[in-house]
Amino acid sequence: MASVQDIRRRIKSVKSIQQITKAMKMVAAARLRRAQERANASRPYTEKIMEILGSVAAGSGDVSHPLLAVREVQRIGFVVLGADKGLAGAYTANLIREVLPHVQGKDNLELIAVGRKINDYFRRRNYKIGQQFSGFSEKPSFQHAAALASEVAKAYTSCQYDEVYLAYTKFHSPIHHEPTVIKLLPIENTSTEDTKVAGEYIFEPSAEEVLNLLLPKYLETVIFGALVQAAASELGARMAAMGSATDNAQELISKLVLNYNKVRQANITREITEIVGGAEALK
């Protein structure tokens, strides 16, 4: 049985850990509020631009653009938006579980890893990683999305990839996140009946100029929307995980205190018994 001193040291250690997890929960909750606002604000715009650009691309007629080129699929690019840090529960594991069926056993596939955890996982398993980005998973900016979109567009237009997919975690609420995979390039017509316009499109000044302006913006917007969704999901997962860790620490402290009192009472009882036994022996 552990001694009183050992239990006391254990209680002190668990209390220190509890203070850390409680602080991390509070930090994640403070950051989550802003990240959630950004995710909710970006979602309607991202969904609408995907619908509109898909419809415009379908209605552009014979006008060609490198980002609209449909080729025989020989090389695939897979962009995975993950976390830079751990202590976020099953956030990274759930995303990897969603991605693995799409990438396993494909020799013609190359990953673009965003986040240290994603890069470390797939690099250790000898997956081919073309590029790696990190350092902004919790606080992505539009500049990060623009840089990532530029690299994706450059790789697609240079025929390095014939298809590009994007994997990220869609944010619904602080405790509900959904790993998602979407096709990023070539742009497909995802418009619904409500967004379709009868007849042909009239481009002003020209279809080439309109597409040259809109298609790069489309990539940047979709990637930025996915980044802010992933950031909110990561912070929500971390807040929930640290909250659970804090509660578990409190439960463990209660059990250790109870055990400490039992051991202490047993020691006191033994000492009293020894004193009484010694006194009786002296009579």
Token output for 114: 């965003």
Residue 141 and residue 111: Cα distance in Å, rounded?
A: 22
**Residue in 197, 210, 223 with CA at minimum distance from that of residue 55:** 197
DSSP per residue, 197-264: -SS----SS-HHHHHHHHHHHHHHHHHHHHHHHHHHHHHHHHHHHHHHHHHHHHHHHHHHHHHHHHHH
Instruction: State CA 107 to chain mean position distance.
Output: 25
Residue 85 and residue 100: Cα distance in Å, rounded?
A: 20
Q: pLDDT tens string for the chain (283 positions)?
A: 678 888 889 999 999 999 999 999 999 999 998 898 888 888 888 888 887 777 776 665 566 777 888 888 899 999 999 999 888 889 999 999 999 999 988 888 999 999 999 999 999 999 999 889 998 998 999 999 999 999 999 999 898 999 999 999 999 988 889 999 999 988 765 544 444 444 466 667 766 777 777 888 889 999 999 999 999 999 999 999 999 999 999 999 999 999 888 888 888 888 888 888 887 777 7
Q: What pTM, to 2 d.p., does this model score?
A: 0.83
Residue ranges and CATH numbers for the domains of the chain are: 21-241 (3.40.1380.10)
Token output for 135: 């350092």
**Residue in 255, 273, 283 with CA at minimum distance from that of residue 2:** 255
Which pLDDT score is estimated for 201?
Answer: 63
Cβ-Cβ contacts under 8 Å for 152 (sequence gap 6 or more): 77, 79, 112, 164, 184, 185, 219, 223
Backbone angles phi, psi at 177, to 5 degrees: -130, 145
180 and 225 Cβ atoms separated by less than 8 Å: no
Which pLDDT score is estimated for 69?
Answer: 81
